[in-house]
């Protein structure tokens, strides 16, 4: 079973009695950065402690691809009785284009809170790299907030809940080439190391 950016890789791996492969959205985002952001001062931000591994994977892969160091950051997030809070931000984003990386957007509250924190900490632009854009109720309002300059998603989940006017900040990357590459490598018994979640 091959999937893309599972929310909980350990649970996914233990849920099936067959070989499982959890691909990362990182290759999609690295290609996008190489094509569009190579000359910018970049920082990679995790919106919460649970996403640090994902953010670090993207940061390290981008550093290797671009041949230079990138900044990093972390936003605080607490969830209690369905209410999300947290105002602390740690990292160096002053004057940079901050890249928030996450596995999914639901209502967009976490993303917006992180974007605002990065702006307050000195980021000049904020882009979100999110594999699955679910865009539940409230997400359309998040997309028009000036704290976010752009939201880059895969087409693994089409953004059908958004009206065309609400999608102006969206960049949609095709996931099919990544999935096809993984299937080809599996067929040829080649390594998937650079495509999977570590």
Catalytic residue list: 77
Cβ atoms of residues 29 and 54 within 8 Å: no
Residues contacting residue 77 through CB under 8 Å, at least 6 positions apart: 47, 48, 49, 84, 85, 86, 110, 113
| Cα 89 off chain centre by | 18
CA dihedral 108, 169, 149, 99 (to 10 degrees): 70
- Phi and psi torsions of 93, nearest 5°: -125, 5
Give CA–CA dist 29/44, Å, rounded: 12
Q: If you count them, how many residues does the chain have?
A: 198
């Amino acid at each position: 079973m091959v999937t893309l950016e599972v929310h909980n890789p350990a649970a996914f791996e233990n849920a099936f009695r067959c070989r499982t492969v959890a691909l990362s959205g990182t290759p999609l985002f690295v290609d996008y950065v190489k094509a569009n952001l190579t000359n910018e001062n970049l920082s990679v931000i995790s919106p919460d402690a649970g996403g640090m591994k994902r953010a670090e994977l993207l940061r390290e892969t981008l550093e290797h691809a671009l041949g230079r160091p990138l900044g990093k950051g972390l936003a605080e997030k607490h969830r209690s009785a369905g209410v999300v809070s947290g105002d602390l931000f740690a990292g160096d984003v002053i004057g940079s284009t901050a890249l928030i990386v996450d596995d999914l957007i639901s209502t967009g509250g976490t993303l917006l809170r992180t974007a605002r924190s990065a702006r307050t900490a000195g980021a000049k632009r904020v882009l979100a790299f999110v594999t699955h854009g679910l865009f539940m109720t409230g997400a359309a309002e998040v997309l028009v907030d000036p704290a976010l300059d752009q939201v880059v998603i895969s087409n693994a989940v089409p953004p059908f809940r958004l009206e065309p006017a609400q999608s102006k900040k969206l960049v949609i990357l095709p996931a099919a080439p990544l999935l096809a590459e993984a299937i080809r490598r599996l067929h040829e018994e080649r390594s998937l190391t650079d495509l999977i979640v570590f």
